[in-house]
Amino acid sequence: MKHIREYLPKLDLENELYEFKQELDPKHVQGWLKSIAAFANSSEGGTIYVGVTDDGFVKGLPPTTIDECKRLIIDNIARYLKPIVNFKIDVMDFEGNHQNYILILSVYPSTSMVKYHIGDYNEIVYVRKDGESVPATPDEIVSFGMQGRFRVFDKEDSKIPFDLSKFSFFAERFKENSEGHPNLQKADLMSADAICTNGDLTNAGMLFEDGFVSDDVAVHCTLWDGFDKGGNHSIDDKMIKGNLLELYDGMKAFVERNTRKGFLKKDDHADSISAYPSIPVHEVLINALAHRDYTITGSQIDLDIFTDRMEVTVPGDFIPARYGYTAPTIEDIGSMRRNQGICQMFWLCGLMQRKGSGFDKIHKVYQDYPREFQPYLTISRNKYQITLMDLTFAKRKELVSEESQIEISLSDEQKKVLANLSSGAKTISELQALSSYAGKSSFRNYVIQPLLDAGLVLRLGNPHSPNLHYGLAKKPDVK
């Protein structure tokens, strides 16, 4: 076999601009697709020579395999690499006898960051380093965006013409936050990169437009009956769709209606207790909407509330941190923004600060609590999760033997239970029949148990008896 430099004198060893492949393995496509992705993410592109060994010697491909090899490349690029990669396939009859060929795959630099997708949630950005194709770190991904070579998703042209009348919902929020010029103007949206120079909306603008709905921009909220998803059923379940302001409102409402509240009595006053304080909830929800990776199709933000915590899982790498990073506290996490345009739009509405990450605000709320109740961040490839601990769960554990010290803020269902018990003791089945709860377990955990913890309701009889009755312990001090 001859070395490839005898046919193409400029080629010698693999480097940042070209790579040799003896063949393309159809069973292990990631091994060669990562090189295509890495070349697309480079500033000059690159070329893959198929039919050449790693050390540069030409083995060639028989003519009967050329069409099959072309189809393998085209099909797998379309399946695994997003967005579309621009490339060209040529063949070289290097011996001039029509018996052996080199397939030359030229990959052009992309204007958007190319990612290798494995399923809905797993994606990898590859780059060229020292003649190899390797995964990019989060810091490198940020660096690419700052270089300005790639188009950023939220600043790309949505191909939807701008119409100010379709921003009425956004205009209301803008008016609440504005001083001096409360009426939304086109210039305000342009300052937030919501409008392209050609008059179309950017993707950021599209995501805030009235009537926007997409399955790829959705939030799934679930209240679970237990400490995890395994073996437990959902009590409250809602899929929220709409523009980003509607998603924020929907998520906030879901958390509020499933947040336990009460009062911890002290000697001369009572401190209010909320399972999830409003400031951390706001910061977590805005963070999820502003920093999720909207290029990962088929994904969603998941908001899960368990007995002792709330978890918000967000598609996309968490840019300020390294993979696998977890932290017991989060006050030192810096600010790096994936979607600058989306962040600017939230800022116009007063829902996001212009600088900083918001994690310092979360930390201040929780700083007086023990370490085990501190919020924390868990990061894996292509998603991250923020966890807030239920503060009322923490306090109930501390005060389980001092029930009389807790004065709860009653839900409508709990008020209904107390009203029915005022006429006499009843079984849980009788009480549940008068409620909107379909499951006995969820009714017991979220309606009856807090009343028991607060000392407002007593069990009358054997707790394990099917004929167990509940009765009033004292007149409730309702808030």
pLDDT value for 205:
96
Q: What pLDDT sits at residue 267?
A: 64
Q: What is the pLDDT of residue 14?
A: 72
Q: Rounded distance, CA 156 to CA 359, Å?
A: 28
User: What's the whole-number average pLDDT of the chain?
Assistant: 82
pLDDT of residue 260: 77
What's the whole-number mean pLDDT along residues 102-113? 90
Give 340's contacts (C-beta < 8 A, 6+ positions apart): 152, 154, 155, 193
Residue 236 has pLDDT above 70, yes or no: yes
**What would the pLDDT profile of 295-339 be if each residue is shown by its tens digit?**
887 889 999 999 889 999 998 866 544 333 444 456 555 555 678
**30 pLDDT higher than 60:** yes
pLDDT over 50 at 266, yes or no: yes
State pLDDT tens for residues 166-225: 999 999 999 888 766 678 999 999 999 999 999 999 999 999 999 999 998 999 999 987
Query: What residues contact residue 397 under an 8 Å CB cut-off, 6+ apart?
Result: none
61 has which bridge partners?
101
| 54 burial level (CB within 10 Å; 0-12, 13-18, 19+) | exposed
Q: Is the pLDDT reported for residue 145 higher than 80?
A: no
pLDDT of 238 reads 93
Q: Is the pLDDT of residue 149 over 70?
A: no
Angle (CA) 25-116-323 rounded to 5° is 120
User: What integer pLDDT is reported at residue 399 of this predicted model?
Assistant: 34
What are 377's two structure tokens?
């961040």
Question: In the CATH scheme, what architecture does the domain 218-393 have?
Answer: 2-Layer Sandwich (3.30)
Q: What are phi and psi of 344, to 5 degrees?
A: -65, -40
pLDDT > 80? residue 268: no
Backbone angles phi, psi at 211, to 5 degrees: 80, 0
Among 6-10, 108-112, 403-407, the range scoring the smallest mean pLDDT is 403-407
Q: Of the given ranges (304-318, 344-358, 462-476), which has the lowest mean pLDDT?
A: 462-476
DSSP 143: H
Q: Which of 3-17, 66-80, 291-305, 362-376 has the highest mean pLDDT?
A: 66-80
Provide the token pair at 193: 């990169």
Least-confidence region, from 61-70, 243-252, 335-344: 335-344
Q: What is the mean pLDDT of residues 99-117?
A: 89
What pLDDT, on the 0 to 100 scale, is given for residue 475? 47
Which has the higher per-residue pLDDT, 141 or 340? 340
More confident residue, 230 or 254: 254
The string of pLDDT tens digits covering residues 441-464 is 778 888 888 887 776 888 776 666
Residue found under tokens 């967005």: 83
As a whole number of angstroms, the distance between CA 136 and CA 327 comes to: 22
**DSSP helix/strand/coil, 383:** strand
Prior bond to 315 cis, omega within 30? no
The structure tokens 């009235």 sit at 210
pLDDT band, residue 245 (cuts 50/70/90): very high
Residue 134 pLDDT > 80: yes
What average pLDDT score do residues 54-82 get? 92
pTM of the model: 0.59
Nearest 5 degrees, angle CA 17-CA 21-CA 27? Answer: 125
4-147: what fold?
3.30.950
Alpha helices in 130-194 (DSSP H): 138-147, 168-177, 186-191
Residue 47's CB: how many other CB atoms inside 10 A? 17
358-409 pLDDT, tens per residue? 777 888 888 888 877 888 888 776 788 999 998 877 554 443 323 334 455 6
Q: What is the pLDDT of residue 436?
A: 82
Q: Please name which of 78, 239, 245, 52 lies closest in space to residue 167, comparing C-alpha atoms.
A: 245
For the range 24-29, what are the long-range contacts, defined as Cβ-Cβ under 8 Å and sequence gap of 24 or more? 24/50, 24/69, 24/72, 24/73, 26/72, 29/72, 29/76, 29/80
Structure confidence at residue 263 as a pLDDT band (50, 70, 90): low
Look at strands 81-82 and 457-460 and give their pairing.
Answer: unpaired
User: Residue 108 gets which letter from DSSP?
Assistant: P
Per-residue pLDDT, 153: 80
Domain 401-472 - what CATH class?
mainly alpha
Judge whether 53 and 20 are in contact, CB under 8 Å: yes
Instruction: Choose between 432 and 250: higher pLDDT.
Output: 250
Range(s) within the chain of domains with CATH label 3.30.950.30 = 4-147
How far is it, in rounded angstroms, from Cα 328 to Cα 308?
Answer: 16
Rounded Cα–Cα distance for residues 389 and 477 (Å): 27
Sequence-separated (6 or more) residues with CB below 8 Å from residue 185 = none
Lowest mean pLDDT, pick from 99-103, 194-198, 423-427? 423-427
Residue ranges matching CATH 1.10.10.10 in the chain: 401-472
Distance from C-alpha of 118 to C-alpha of 105, rounded to nearest angstrom: 23
Task: Evaluate if residue 26 carries a pLDDT over 90.
Answer: yes
Q: Where in the chain is the domain with CATH 3.30.565.60?
A: 218-393
pLDDT tier for residue 57 given thresholds of 50, 70 and 90: very high
Percent of the chain scored above 70 by pLDDT? 81
